[in-house]
A and B are shown apart, each in its own frame.
Chain A
Amino acid sequence: QAVVTQEPSLTVSPGGTVTLTCGSSTGTVTSGHYPSWFQQKPGQAPTTLIYEISKKYSWTPARFSGSLLGGKAALTLSGAQPEDEADYYCLVSDDYGRVFGGGTKLTVL
């Protein structure tokens, strides 16, 4: 199965912008990998923020956006809020099913 890599940790200032990335050992991440992004706060179940690269659900704050960037999937947070401090996971398809990245711990400080 593919190995999916994310930044282990990132820090953003309140009101600032940060981009989290998601790469695959199999090569360039494309629309065919159907990348999704999830947010998980301590002690809580994950919630789905983004699916199919950039599609949002009704509860996804507008400050989050998804894209493909430099061969990877990317999650950009513009105007970070204290409540955005959480772990973020990407999920992509491979030949056998789906694979999560190791997660990025985002600190808003």
Chain B
Amino acid sequence: QLVESGGGLVKPGGSLRLSCGASGFNFNNVWMTWVRQAPGKGLEWVGRIRSKADGGTTDYAAPVKGRFSISRDDSKNTLYLQMNSLKIEDTALYYCTAGIVWGHGTTVTVSS
């Protein structure tokens, strides 16, 4: 299973770090992805990180590239999403997913 945490209310221009704890599968070998969903809207792919065995590299969607950073700590079975220079349009429910399993999400609200 996956459990996200770290969401909250932040002002525009601020930063937040989300975490996603994994259990029940071999986290080390899995590519992990962040997906978000703005209120009343569809799913939006945010970015992904490959497993260390596959290089551990990252890809990001255009709206977040240069502002968001994905990392992983395989020793802690944890995925992270560092969000900087937050904008109002980043307000959403943020999910982490391993493809086969999804977390329940954590809410990020960007508002002054």
Contacts and interface: CB of A to CB of B under 8 A. Distances in A.
A61 interface: no
Interface string B54-74: 000001111000000000000
Contacts of A102: 42
A97 B33 CA distance: 10
Size bin of chain A's contact surface: 20 to 34
Given A45-B103, A47-B102, A51-B99, A96 B61 contact: yes
Interface string B19-35: 00000000000000101
Contacts, number: 52
A41 to B, nearest CB: 13
28 contacts: A1-B61, A36-B99, A45-B95, A45-B102, A45-B104, A46-B35, A46-B43, A46-B102, A47-B102, A48-B97, A48-B99, A48-B100, A48-B102, A57-B100, A87-B42, A89-B43, A91-B45, A96-B60, A96-B62, A97-B48, A97-B59, A98-B33, A99-B45, A99-B61, A100-B42, A100-B43, A101-B42, A103-B42
